[in-house]
Structure 1
Amino acid sequence: MTKIRSMITCLLRLIALAATLCATIVMAAAHDSTEIFNLKFEAKYSNSPSFKYFVIVNTVVSCYTLTTLLIPHKSLLWRLILILDTVMALLLTSSFSAAMAIAYVGKKGNSNAGWLPICGQVPKFCDQATNALISGFVAILIYFFLLLYSLHAALTPVFCAKD
């Protein structure tokens, strides 16, 4: 049974690693430019602190996930990893939320603040950012399932202990 648990955990971690790496690479490579009234405007992820935060968090979670794949499953570090998985899931959620808020303003604008939507001028950037956000959301879902599975595996012996 422990072999199946470790295989499921490893599979979930590999999917999470792929999703966070994809989100990082796609967002970091996102760029587009346009010319309005002979002025050139360039849209890239580094123009927004929220997008930078998204890239940094996904990079950190990718490195963390890769590191956890290298730890033996019988190590005592796995008790700490459950806590660190929770922290990583929270970081992913906060960075996704921040990036999503900026992406929404970029797509729809904010008439109350006088901010115009930019996706009509730089559609390539908006499409790339959308793809990165989708990948980031998949990473959040996978980490959520990973947390549920790890909690179930950790708490089952406690609640199902034979008297």
Structure 2
Amino acid sequence: MVTIERICTFSLRVIAILTTFSATIVMITSHERVRLNEVSYEAKYSDMPTFKFFVIANAIVCIYGLLVLCLPSKSLLWGLIVALDMVLTMLLTSSISAALAIGQVEKNGNSSAGWLPVCGQVPKFCDQITGALAVSSIGVIIYMLLILYAIHNALDPLLVHNS
């Protein structure tokens, strides 16, 4: 039973690493240049600080995940790993939220601020941003599952009554 649990958590961590790595790569490669009439317009992730934050947060979580995979199963650091999982899940969530807000402004604009939507001009760029956000959200869900599993393991001995 213990080996099945280890295999499941190991698999979830590998999937989380792959999702955060994929989100980082997709966001970094999001770039599109269009020419409208005589005006050239270029959209890239590095134009927005929130997209940079998204890339950095996903890269940090990906590297953290790789380091956790190298940790021996009998290590005393696993208690700290649960806390770090929570912190990095919140970092990832905040980066997704910030990038999602900017992505929404790029898609719909903001009439009160006078910002025009740009996704009509650079649809490939916006599609890549949407894909990166979706994949990273899957990573957040996986990390939340890992946290819930760790909390369950920590509380289970306290709730079980041995007669």
Q: CA deviation at 1:161?
A: 5.2
| AA matched with 1:2 | V
Post-superposition CA distance 1:138-160 (Å, at most 9, x none)? 11111111111111112212222
Task: Give 3-state SS (helix, strand or coil) of 1:110's partner.
Answer: coil
| AA matched with 1:125 | F
Which deviates the most, 63-72 or 35-44?
Answer: 35-44
Task: Give 3-state SS (helix, strand or coil) of 1:116's partner.
Answer: coil
Q: Counterpart of 1:62?
A: 62
Post-superposition CA distance 1:42-76 (Å, at most 9, x none)? 10000000000000000000000011011111110
% identical equivalent positions: 51
Which deviates the most, 148-157 or 45-54?
Answer: 148-157
**CA distance, structure 1, for counterparts of residue 3 and residue 142 of structure 2:** 20
**CA distance, structure 2, for counterparts of residue 53 and residue 23 of structure 1:** 12
Report matched runs for 1:73-84 at 5 Å.
73-84=73-84
Q: Counterpart of 2:122?
A: 122
Normalised TM-score (structure 2): 0.96
Task: Give 3-state SS (helix, strand or coil) of 2:43's partner.
Answer: strand
Post-superposition CA distance 1:111-163 (Å, at most 9, x none)? 11111000011111001111101101111111111111111112212222526
| AA matched with 1:110 | N
Q: Counterpart of 2:151?
A: 151
Q: Counterpart of 1:30?
A: 30
Q: CA deviation at 1:100?
A: 0.1
Question: Which runs of 5 or more structure 1 residues have no equivalent in the other structure?
Answer: none
State the number of aligned residues: 163
Q: Counterpart of 1:105?
A: 105
Which deviates the most, 116-125 or 151-160?
Answer: 151-160
Task: Give 3-state SS (helix, strand or coil) of 2:32's partner.
Answer: strand
Report matched runs for 1:135-146 at 5 Å.
135-146=135-146
Q: Counterpart of 1:12?
A: 12
| AA matched with 1:129 | I
Q: Counterpart of 2:71?
A: 71
Task: Give 3-state SS (helix, strand or coil) of 1:76's partner.
Answer: coil
**CA distance, structure 2, for counterparts of residue 151 and residue 66 of structure 1:** 22
Normalised TM-score (structure 1): 0.96
Q: CA deviation at 1:19?
A: 0.6
1:47 correspondence with 2:42: no
